[in-house]
Structure 1
Amino acid sequence: MKKAARLFDCLEAQQQEPKPDFLNAKINGEWKSYSTAEAHEKIYQLAAALLEMGISPGDGSVEGRNKVGLISNSRPEWLITDLAVQLVGGILVPLYPNTSTKEMEQILAEAEVACIFVSDAELCAKVTAVQKNVPTLKTIVSFDKITDCVHFESLLKPTSEVDKKRISAISNRITENDVTTIIFTSGTTGRPKGVMLTHKNIVSNVVGSGKVLLQIPVVNKRALSFLPLNHIFEKMVTYIYLFYGFSIYYAENMDTIGANMREVKPNLFTAVPRLLEKVFEKIVIEGQKLSGIKKSIFLWSIKVAEQFENTGTSLWYKVKLAIANKLVYSKWRAALGGEVKAIILGSSACPVRLEKIFTAAKIVILEGYGLTETSPVITVNQYQINGRRFGTVGLLLEDVQVKIAADGEILCKGPNIMLGYYKNPELTAEVLADGWFHTGDIGQIDQDNFLKITDRKKEIFKTSGGKYVAPVPIENRMKESPLIEQMMVIGAERKFTSALIVPSYPNLKLWCEQQNFNFNSAQQIVEQEQVIALYQSVVDSFNSEFNHVEQVKKFKLLSEEWTINGGELTPTGKMKRRIIMEKYKQEIEHLYQTETDKTLVAH
């Protein structure tokens, strides 16, 4: 990669290696490709249109520069808009498509957004509904053609030499220290905060993370993208693709990922652990449909994969792995297009069991760690065997420093650390105390410099007996059971620790069928004594790994999965603990009615 200072320097890099399928999206059942030249033309045409709309760098300050909003599914137009805004010195303010109307209004007003791009009629209606309360918002542009809204394509007109000179004059003045985007965090603990990231912040992460991705043996340099592009993880990785000559294919939606993979045959993609869990659930369900020797081989192959270690395996194990690979794992890879070498995971902790299973199947799981404020990667497991370790989030990225505070909090310093929170100097000073960014996460670094996350600082609670409990390690360990989909450990100011558990219903229904249990609904399943006893045995099997105060003494099985739309999860899939506690207040009170330390299951 040629040395770059700004994100839009990727345009020059792409001209050295133009591609016919640079950006790709499926429209009406057919893949539509933009060549490098076509995409660049649209970027400059949109940049000229933005200048005509009055978008400019203003006086050069963060407050003085125009803000451009963007709410859309992942598609080529998203990236074209991002790069056009950069070229004219604007600041992009991206939002999740499922952002609530109230939160959308707060963000657009606080950021003083001047114009906004949306993907479709539904989002246009949401923005129109709040526009009257956002005085600065003058223009709404839609990627889809809809009534009474400016259409994206209508803005794109041939650029004149005058336009090109105006764009160049502005872009040439933009430095690596200029803010390129303000990303509002998903807010697990309250009101979203506007994270100001500079070109240098993100480019440094692109360079460091890019060196890790270059270890992956790619065949066709194709990547499938389906995570939201307004999340810094997907955006940063996208710029790795742009700088390193990849073609990007955007999945139609979350339900078509499997089919799109088989069509695109990507070498790698980014994901969250939740998706990996869903993929494996489908694999298990299909395997359970087999019979006789085929089913025995399938179940045996999973046991082999669960024993996988990155180093130090015996010759006999390697023989078993080779057999399982030929008979079973090869079919898994084929279902993902046949060319996938690695999956890069972020956002939340991945169960070690899943990491082992997929890596054993030659789909190497590279789990990393970071925050929006760190652009985002701090550490990541690498493709090379000596650079990855199960149960950790990997090694430090190049030029990134980490130290562990006296209370165990992870502190970070480096070129990836944000400029600060927009219009919030007090909170900025608090999290950047002593020149180190305070992550809010608790962790430890082992003798080989691998970082392990042990908990969230704000999520550790104290029982009424004065004992501290870190819920995340308990949740992560128990979620390794194929029967547990989601789990939240509770017990603040209570006499003992308990939990809310969302079963993995595909696996639980299989078990019920094998036991000849009839059921009509999820609620009916979780009320059956045999099912409660089953989960008691699962919880008991894990409890032995924790000390007395950490052991889950009671639990409640829930009939509904926690979702983003339901309000229990943030757009990045993290639990909103306060919301969940409030929603299931009655169930929690029932768990603690007797305040006894006796192990009981809540019916």
Structure 2
Amino acid sequence: MFLKNYNKTALKWKDQKIRYADLLREAVYFAKLFPDTAERVLIFSENRPEWIYSFLGSWKNNCTVIPVDYLSTVEEVIYIVNDCLPDVVFCSREREKLFRSVIESIDHTPLLLVYEDVGTAGNTSEEVVEGIDFAKKSLNDTALIIYTSGTTGDPKGVMLSYENVMANVEAVSIGVPIYSIDERVMLLLPLHHIFPLLGSMVAPLSVGATIAMSPSLQPQDIISTLQNNQVTIIIGVPRLYKTICKGVMDKINQKKIARLLFFIAEKAGSQGFSRMIFKAVHQKFGGKLKYLVCGGAALDPDVGSNFMTLGFEILEGFGMTEAAPMISFTRPGQVTIGSAGTAMSCTSIEIRDGEIVASGKNIMQGYLNRPEETAEVLKDGWLYTGDLGHLDEKGRLFITGRRKEIIVLASGKNINPVLVEQKLESLTDCINEVGVFVKDDILQAVIQPDFQKVRAREITELDDFFRWKIIDAYNKTVSPSKRILKFTLIDEELPKTRLSKLRRFQLPDLVGKRAARKSDARQPDFEEYLIIKGFIEEQSKREIFPDDHLEIDIAMDSLDQVSLLAFLKSTFGVELSEEKLMAHQTVRRLSEFIQEKKEKISVELVNWKDILKEKVDLTLPRTWITANVFRTCSKLFFKGYFRFKGEGQENIPDTPCIIAPNHQSFYDGLFVASLLKQNFFKNTYFYAKRKHVNNPLIRFLADRNNVIVVDLNSGLKESIQKLAEVLKKGKNIMIFPEGTRSMDGTLGDFKKLFAILSMELNVPVVPVTINGAYQALPVGTLFPRPLRQVSVRFQQPVFPEGHTYDSLTETVYQQVRGGLS
């Protein structure tokens, strides 16, 4: 018998407790809502108890059930309905309007039953139902038609028999007793997919377990469901576990003691020890959690390893809809990070030409209405999965890629994009998502940055960071055929299925259509947008579109953001922090926010003179004698290690000034400082990004060696005001106009911060040209190359009279450039 009265709670939904007797009564009630001549029933709804009632009622009537993603579009539902021709459709009120649009567009007219209209049996029925079994059915009858998620094109209807379904249930309840009557399983993922349908509903109900339904995928609903029901099993996908892991690890990394305990637990490798020291984490998840079952896609090995260190067991499996869904899974106590476990008891696995093939009672009947495509994957009872992998000596399965996703270049070279993506992600934690694809025979990548991490690391030049630190660094480690020749940054998620499988075939269109979407977008005509758009166009010297991203598309640096914030305050009376500005990342979103919050509209240009006049509390760092000793030692080292020389020191004025060198290497500040006269050096101040002085010792030394720390994320305006205050006190400052060192030795664009300070405070700028530093210490090298020629030339000072910000910036740029060899 598939389902019987276990005389206990079957289902918990919000405040409801639905017992098995009630569940069976509801199944009978729903079975009576449609003619017993119906053969196929389609369910089109979000997760809710009625979804389960209609499913069980349909099986009671010997019907084939077709679950459909409730977020499907009209076109997608039309395709499925025309393919499977259901006799009955259950849907929620939320989906009713869409489905009625479907009916108007097709010739087929199924009976439509809306949950809110048909109600439930509730307490109105006294009928006693002992259970639902398959006695009247052949195990070879079709129980389900599940439409694949379409990662490579149109979805196909996978026909699964009752035998296919029960083979999976028996494997995890009898073969390996993961599911039992005492378990409490969280139902979280949408039931239209075979993995949560079997793992979160069919298997628990078949053994008499209790299902705890989470009202949504929101973190607070998930946590409350876990805690209120003392859940023992979670059925999840890699993305869910990655999100949970990130939340836990972020908190651990905030405290030294927690990091130390995590390190000790990692080395100890004891689940009992880990559960003891991370008891608070386990209590957060209800305190009874035994198994985290993972499927739908490959789990990041780091995530699996972190969960093991925390004392949790992630049982990763491999499967597909065509196997209902499991082919292999990890047995409790036998977790091997990176492996999808061993074959199910009813399944055989072989590797043929690198491809994983499987046979057994779990393998599908075929694709609905697609005999040719069925024949392509089902051969002599073996399912050719399309996935690549290998088995070790213990029969453990390791997945290495997907055959259909292997990129074949015109040269004949084969590239596994998953391995490329993993390599890119290993280079930085500033990537939220990355997808690799080929277009015009060029290997390309599309990257969604993790903006929170980007800002935490004070990365202001996104394009340069990903170009040099990630793409170039990757390209240097691979053969020419595997190099990424083009990349695109985006501010949206990559196209995926509901279970987070990447729809790689959509990536070329995503990149191609992105520019078209922006340029074709209708320009808003409300006043706030037009004013903000005009300001940004004047500042950036480029055409602005409504959905341009402030960082990705407009490439706003920190100074640009300060200018924009000052403009918003003076024009609209809205004062924002840098963090708040980034919460409204496109021109359209920012304009809509300002439209809602504005106190006035009075267009005013940004007045840097007023900004620099604002009071700022600044105590100049004390200069220790060690600073001069360090400068002298540096000069001696440079002259002995390199062929080092300086010239033009006579061009440095006696009045306060701004030293503006190009930036080729880590040593540039010392190269310049070592050539300054002692008294001038004593009165010269340098600025450093906060991320470079996080270490207490380095911060201590910075405070005593003329270094002013600037925070590019939350205090740049104040930092600029502090630099101005230094000049007002008759001191000098050194600023690298490029903002960051060159990645290839060429001169980068100059930021105009130095020009603003020079113009508003009437101090000259001394352009400084550094030659040879990049060749002596290229990016990525640990040790400088000896005997390289390095020269520093101080150019004639440039005075601000008669200049604009832009013309002064350009004049200094040309002087520095003119001195480069």
TM-score tier (shorter)? 0.7 to 0.9
In structure 2, relative to structure 1, the CA distance for the partners of 1:90 and 1:320 (3 Å cut) is closer
The two structures have a TM-score, normalised by structure 2, of 0.58
Q: Is the 8 A contact 1:226 1:253 kept in 2?
A: yes
Q: Is the 8 A contact 2:156 2:368 kept in 1?
A: yes
Report the CA distance between 1:263 and its aligned residue.
Answer: 1.7
Deviation at 1:549, TM superposition (A): 3.5
* Equivalent in the alignment of 1:401: 348
The residue aligned with 1:11 is 3
Task: Give the equivalent residue in structure 1 for 2:651.
Answer: none
Q: d(CA) in 2 for partners of 1:541 and 1:273?
A: 27
The CA distance in 1 between the partners of 2:40 and 2:411, in whole Å, is 51
Deviations 1:24-68 (A, max 9, x none): 111xxxx20111111111111222x14xx3243xxxxxxxx6211
More deviation, 330-339/498-507 = 498-507
Determine if the alignment matches structure 1 residue 125 to structure 2 residue 97. yes
Question: What is aligned with 2:225?
Answer: 260
1:135 to 1:342, Cα distance in 2 relative to 1, 3 A: same
Shift of 1:18: 1.9
Q: CA deviation at 1:222?
A: 1.0
Listed one character per residue, the Cα deviations across residues 271-327 of structure 1 (whole Å, up to 9, x for unaligned) are 011111111222244446x4xxxx11233445556xx4xxxxxxxx32898776545
| Aligned residue in 2 for 1:37 | 21
1:553 deviates by 5.5
Shift of 1:378: 0.3
2:813 corresponds in structure 1 to: none
Match of 2:505 among 552, 567, 578: 578
Q: Which amino acid aligns with 1:151?
A: V
Q: What corresponds to 1:524 in structure 2?
A: none
1:556 and 2:488 aligned = yes
CA contact (8 A) 1:554 1:599 kept: no
Cα RMSD over matched residues? Answer: 3.3
SS of residue paired to 1:569: coil
Q: Structure 2 counterpart of 1:384, which letter?
A: G
Check whether the contact 1:462–1:493 (CA below 8 A) recurs between aligned residues. no
Higher relative contact order at CA 8 Å, sep ≥6: structure 1 or structure 2? 1
Normalization by structure 1: what TM-score? Answer: 0.78
Residue 442 to residue 588, structure 1, CA distance change in 2 (3 Å): farther
AA at the equivalent of 1:96: D
Q: Cα distance, 1:174 vs. partner?
A: 0.8
Please give the alpha-carbon distance, in whole angstroms, between the structure 1 residues aligned to 2:423 and 2:261: 22
Equivalent of residue 70 in structure 1, options 12, 34, 43: 43
Say whether the 8 Å CA contact 2:43–2:67 is kept in structure 1: yes
| Aligned residues of 1:304 and 1:321 also touching (Cα < 8 A) | no
Q: Call closer, same or farther: CA 1:112–1:400 in 2, change over 3 Å.
A: same
Cα distance, 1:36–1:599 mapped onto 2, change above 3 Å: farther
Provide, for residues 350-405 of structure 1, a one-character-per-residue CA deviation record: whole Å limited to 9, x for no partner. Answer: 110000000121111111111101110001112123xx311111100112112112
Q: By how many angstroms is 1:258 displaced?
A: 2.0
Query: Is contact 2:230-2:289 (8 Å) kept?
Result: yes
- In the alignment, structure 1 segments of 5+ residues that lack a partner are 1-8, 57-64, 309-316, 518-527, 563-567, 590-597
Does residue 101 (structure 1) correspond to residue 77 (structure 2)? The answer is no
Aligned length: 516
Q: Which residue type is aligned with residue 314 of structure 2? A: I
CA separation of 1:40/1:102 partners in 2, compared to 1, >3 Å: closer, same or farther?
same
Is the counterpart of residue 110 in structure 1 residue 83 in structure 2? yes
- In the TM superposition, what is the alpha-carbon distance from 1:159 to its structure 2 partner? 7.7
Q: Is the 8 A contact 2:29 2:121 kept in 1?
A: no
Secondary structure at the counterpart of residue 113 of structure 1: coil
- Alignment of 1:84 onto 2:57: yes
1:209 corresponds to which of 165, 172, 179:
172
Distance 1:448 1:488 in 2: 33
Q: Cα distance, 1:139 vs. partner?
A: 2.6
Give the match's secondary structure for 2:380. helix
The answer to whether the 8 Å contact 1:445/1:452 transfers is: yes
Alignment of 1:151-166 (within 5 A): 151-153=118-120, 158=125
Residue 239 of structure 2 aligns with which residue? 274
Seen in structure 2, the aligned counterparts of structure 1 residues 250 and 321 have a Cα distance that, compared at 3 Å, is: closer
> 1:267, 1:342 within 8 Å by CA — same for their partners in 2?
yes
- Match for 1:411 among 357, 372, 378? 357
In structure 2, how many angstroms separate the alpha carbons of the residues matched to 1:156 and 1:141? 21
Answer whether contact 1:24 1:249 (CA < 8 A) is retained. Answer: yes
1:345 aligns with 2:281: no
Counterpart CA distance in 2 for 1:345 and 1:183 is 20
The residue type equivalent to 2:435 in the other structure is M
Which residue of the partner structure matches residue 529 of structure 1? Answer: 461
Q: Which of 173, 183, 186 is residue 221 of structure 1 equivalent to? A: 183
CA shift digits 1:388-426 (9 cap, x unpaired): 3111111001121121122x1211111111111111112
- What does residue range 323-472 of structure 1 map to in structure 2 within 5 Å? 326-327=276-277, 329-385=278-334, 388-406=335-353, 408-472=354-418
Q: Is the 8 A contact 2:274 2:309 kept in 1?
A: no
Distance of 2:366 and 2:282 partners within structure 1 = 42
Q: Deviations over 1:127-164 (max 9, x none)?
A: 11111234443432223x3xxxx323279974879xx8
SS of the equivalent of 1:502 reads strand
Match of 1:318 in 2: 268
CA 1:346–1:127: 2 relative to 1, 3 Å: same
Contact 1:142 1:151 in 2 (8 A): yes
The residue identity in structure 2 corresponding to 1:442 is: L
**Bigger Rg, which one:** 2
Partner Cα separation in structure 1 for residue 39 and residue 126 of structure 2: 22
* Alpha-carbon contact 2:41-2:58 (below 8 Å) kept: yes
Supply the AA of the counterpart residue of 2:187. S
CA distance in 1, matches of 2:206, 2:78: 34
1:296 aligns with 2:223: no
Percent identity (aligned): 25
Provide the secondary structure at the position in 1 that maps to 2:56: helix
| Matching residue of 2:436 | 489
- The alignment status of 1:25 with 2:17, answered yes or no, reads no
Distance 2:340 2:24 in 1: 36
What is the CA–CA distance in structure 1 between the aligned matches of 2:147 and 2:216, rounded to whole Å? 23
**Structure 2 SS opposite 1:278:** helix
Q: Deviations over 1:562-602 (max 9, x none)?
A: 3xxxxx1122221112222111027899xxxxxxxx999xx
Query: Are the aligned partners of 1:44 and 1:159 in contact in 2 as well (CA < 8 Å)?
Result: no
CA contact (8 A) 1:409 1:440 kept: yes
Q: Distance in 2 between matches of 1:215 and 1:418?
A: 24
Secondary structure of 2:435 counterpart = strand
CA distance in 2, matches of 1:360, 1:350: 16
Deviation digits for residues 73-114 of structure 1 (CA, Å, limit 9, x no counterpart): 222222221111111111111101111110101111221112
Q: Matches of 1:160 and 1:333 in 2, distance apart? A: 42
CA deviations on 1:311-352 (whole Å, 9 max, x unpaired) are xxxxxx32898776545x322222212211221111111110
Task: Give the Cα separation in 1 of the matches to 2:498 and 2:89.
Answer: 20
Kept after mapping to 2: 8 A contact 1:349/1:476: no
Change (3 A) 1:405 1:468: same
CA distance in 1, matches of 2:417, 2:744: 18
Partners in 1 of 2:399 and 2:242 — Cα distance? 20
Shift of 1:453: 1.2
For residues 470-504 of structure 1, the C-alpha deviation after alignment (integer angstroms, 9 at most, x for no partner) is 11123245445543221112246636x44222223
Which of residues 163, 170, 175 in structure 1 aligns to 2:138? 175
Alpha-carbon offset, residue 116 of structure 1: 1.1
CA–CA separation in structure 2 for the residues paired with 1:160 and 1:283? 48
Distance across 1 between alignment mates of 2:264 and 2:464: 29
Change (3 A) 1:130 1:100: same
Does the 8 A contact of 2:172 with 2:178 survive in 1?
no
Give the SS at the match of 2:420: helix
